[in-house]
Amino acid sequence: MAETLVLKAFRRDGRGTRVSRKLREQGQVPAIVYGHQTEPLAVALNYHDLELEIKHHHRLLDVEMDGKPEKLLVKEVQYNYLGDKILHVDLTRVNLDERVKVDVSIELRGVPVGVAAGGVLEQVTAEIEVECAVTAIPENIRVQVNEMKVGDTLTAANLVLPEGVVLACDPTMVIATVRVMAEEPEAVVATEGEETEPEVIIRPKKEEDEAEGATA
């Protein structure tokens, strides 16, 4: 079993774009810690360690602040416009015995039978909100779509959630569909021997008047 990674958070002074940019240049990520009726705390985390945790879908983090261990939940991660660099993260304090609402990504598995019949699988929703114990947040929700036929729709209510995890979003939310691919309209090509209408060019009246004046 892999050893739990403990992230170290350092209090940071100052806020704003310039301060945040300097932190990122030093390999740090600016963050805000909320929760449990305490004042928001501005901190900085090691970029590499935080990125590693997020890539492994770890939402509950072990963080050391001021020499004390804390459990912090990742509430929001802000990325750059390319979506490949973490710019900022919001964290909240939690107790291990409480339940939380979090967004969990959906991973579609398999190839629908409807694809072989000319359909196209379209994932409409990438993540859903669920409620569960803070210690039982799933990394993702995997869904087998092999049996989906053309015209079938998968909704949030159809998802099989892990034990102890309940849906916290609209059950009618569409997750994926198998639809018919739209056919491109055929271009009209004139065949040999076919008569085509002459092109009519209409000039603005002002141009007509100028042309007539020049002729005169």
What digits encode the pLDDT tens for the residues 152-179? 999 999 999 999 999 999 999 999 999 9
Given the candidates 2.170.120.20, 1.10.600.10, 3.40.710.10, 3.60.15.10, the CATH classification of the domain at 102-180 is 2.170.120.20
Average pLDDT over residues 100-128: 94
| Domain covering 6-94 assigned CATH 2.40.240.10 in the classification | yes
176 closest CA partner among 139, 125, 135 = 125
Asked if 9 contacts 64 with a C-beta cutoff of 8 angstroms, the reply is yes
Asked if 105 contacts 127 with a C-beta cutoff of 8 angstroms, the reply is yes
Q: Which residue has the tokens 């879908």?
A: 57
73 closest CA partner among 7, 28, 125 = 7
Burial class (CB in 10 A: 0-12, 13-18, 19+), 132: buried
Average pLDDT over residues 109-125: 94
Q: In 3-state terms, what secondary structure has residue 44?
A: strand
pLDDT tens track for 184-197 = 555 555 555 555 55
**Res 38 pLDDT > 60:** yes
pLDDT at 197: 53
- Alpha-carbon distance of 77 to 88, in angstroms, equals 6
- Alpha-carbon distance of 118 to 99, in angstroms, equals 44
Q: Is the dihedral of CA 108, 114, 116, 120 positive or negative?
A: negative
- Looking at every residue in the chain, the average pLDDT score rounds to 84
Residues of the chain with CATH 2.170.120.20: 102-180
- Alpha-carbon distance of 8 to 16, in angstroms, equals 22
Strands (E), 125-200: 127-133, 140-144, 153-155, 166-167, 174-180
Q: Is 60 left (phi over 0), alpha (psi -120 to 50) or beta?
A: beta
pLDDT at 4: 65
Residues of the chain with CATH 2.40.240.10: 6-94
- The percentage of residues in the chain with a pLDDT greater than 90, rounded to a whole number, is 57
- Per DSSP, 171 falls in state T
